[in-house]
Structure formats: structure tokens, C-alpha cells
Amino acid sequence: MSSIYRTLSPRALRSRASRTSVLTGSVRRDIALALLAVWLIGLSYGAIAVASGFPPWFPAAQSVLVLAGASEFLFVGIVAAGGNPIAAALAGLLVNARHLPYGLALPDVLGTGWRRILGAHVMNDESVVFALAQDDPPATRAAFWTCGLGVLVCWPGGAILGALIGTAVRDTSALGLDAMFPAVILALIVPALRDRPTRRTALAGAAIALAATPWLPPGLPVLLALTALLLLIRRRPALTRKRPALTRRRPALTRKRPTRWPARTRPAP
């Protein structure tokens, strides 16, 4: 309990807030814009969840306990389409498997004890991206905790407000909130599709999901599409080119020998 108090005490929060001073103005501005986008997406998530038949407390509790937007959207979408909740939960776990390399990339930022548990909970795409973009350890820790704690506030706040909107407006498509999440997903994956292997894998996964949709219940085609990741596991040939060794030739140190004149051509004394 003492470690929890040290983490969430006013002194600790003030010290953590003071760390934002090591961040530049552009970084703070980018974090604020990312948190605004998180709040808007949470707004759409809460409204869509309530309009899909979930009680208002469900998106509120899930946004606090899970704190993973992609998994929450996926779970709500699969269950709302008539899919199995177990399959929806497995799909969410597979989506969140990307947090394993996140934790390995930031071992010194999370801290120890209960602070490490809190850091693992607020770990998300935004906080990891901003943390890895910094040059020194203090700025890395400041960016991670500033963005992570901001998401912890903005995401549930948007989901709760969206759930209240969903109870009043049953047709969320009239507000266009249902198109916000696909638009954000497309904005996230389009830059990655510039890589040819990634683009080939994404197209293969989409083809597998489309082919399996008429035959499998909702939620399973998405899981089956993950088999396309095997294309990325194939060993790529090493594109290494042997460069010629840049050896500097030194001039040979030859000792100049005296000229020996033949007997016939020897100059007269």
C-alpha cells in the first residue's frame, strides 16, 4: 500500500508533472493532439457500444480496466455481429500481443513494484511512440508517463460521455461516429503498407478473411486471417553487398642504388 501511495500521492504526481518541463514545446503539442484524438475515438466507442446493445456501464468499465482501444472495438464489433464472446476475447488478446515487445523496449521507464504495474497498464501505442522518439532517459520517462496518464484520463472520459450520448441517440450512424474508428485504423495502417512484404501480407489476410466469412461465424475469419503473418516469418535473403577493401597503397621505400657504367661507356676521369 505504501508503494501505491508513493505512486499516486500528490508529491509524486507533482514530480511527474514537473518532468514535462524536459519535453520541448513541439512534443507537448503533439501529445496534446494525440490525447484529443484518443478522446474523440473514445467518444465514438462509447456511443457505438451502447447503440449495439451493451449497457452504458460496459464501455465505461472496459475503458478503465482494459485501456486498449483496438481490442475494445474488436470485442464490441464481434459480439454485436453475433459472434462468440470467447472468440472476441481471443481476438482482443492477439491484438494486444504487441505490448510484449513494448515492455521489452522500455524496461527502465516502467519502474519497479506497483509503479511498474501502473506503467504496464498505461502502456499503449501513443505512449510508447512518444517515449521511443526521445533522445535522453529523462525525456523518455516524461513522454511515456505524460502520454500514458493522459490516455488513462481521456479514453475513459470519452467512452463514458459517448455512452451517455448513445443512450440518447440510438442511431449513431446519423452522427458519423461509426466511421471514425475505421478511418483511424486506415490512417494507422496506410504508412505501413508502403513496405512490399507488409502490403502483401495485409492483402493475403484480407483475402483469407473474405473467403472465410460466408462459412465461419463472425469473429473467426479475423482470427483465421492472422495466418497470413506466416509470410513475414519467411527468411528474407540478406541484401549485403561486398564492398572492396579501401587499402591505401604506400609507395615502396626502395633504396636508390649507384649507377654502374659499363667498361666501354665509363666516362674518362
In the chain, what are the domain boundaries?
2-183, 190-234
Nearest to 109 by CA among 154, 64, 147, 63: 147
Q: Which residues contact 142 (CB under 8 A, 6 or more apart)?
A: 19, 20, 22, 23, 134
State pTM to two decimals.
0.61
- Neighbouring CB atoms inside 10 A of 157's CB total 17
Q: What is the per-residue pLDDT for 166? A: 80
Q: What is the per-residue pLDDT for 159? A: 93
pLDDT in tens, 10-47: 555 455 444 445 788 888 988 898 898 889 888 888 98
Mean pLDDT of 160-185: 71
pLDDT in tens, 52-109: 889 999 999 999 999 988 888 888 888 888 888 888 888 888 878 878 878 888 878 8
Q: What is the per-residue pLDDT for 157? A: 94
Q: Which residues contact 241 (CB under 8 A, 6 or more apart)?
A: none
Q: What is the per-residue pLDDT for 239? A: 38
Which class for 14: exposed (0-12), middle (13-18), buried (19 or more C-beta within 10 A)? exposed
- Is the model's pLDDT at 139 over the cut of 80? yes
Is residue 143 within 8 Å of residue 122, measured between CB atoms?
no
**223/125: higher pLDDT:** 125
pLDDT level of residue 175 (50, 70, 90 thresholds): low
